[in-house]
Amino acid sequence: MNKIKVIRNKLGLSVYKIAELTGLTPSYINNLENGYKTNPTKDVMDKIATALGQTVPEIFYPDERED
């Protein structure tokens, strides 16, 4: 889930800001970024993708590209 952190940092957003935008806790976001949580729900993935201005596949499935 390091892609979350990479995009968040590129956008200049803190963990606290993403938590505010998604309604998730900062510790949950941090756990996702550091790989302690590895199976987020679709709802969580949607919230994070929206907050980062990305799609779910871009963040959570970056190696699965359609040709």
All domains of the chain, ordered by start, with CATH?
A: 2-60 (1.10.260.40)
For 6-36, the pLDDT digits (tens) are 999 999 999 999 999 999 999 999 999 998 9
Q: Which residue has the tokens 């892609």?
A: 3
pTM of the predicted model over 0.75: yes
Q: Which amino acid is at 48?
A: I
Cβ atoms of 55 and 66 closer than 8 Å: no
Identify the band that residue 60 occupies on the pLDDT scale cut at 50, 70 and 90.
confident
Cβ atoms of 48 and 59 closer than 8 Å: yes
CA 17, distance to chain mean position in Å, is 12
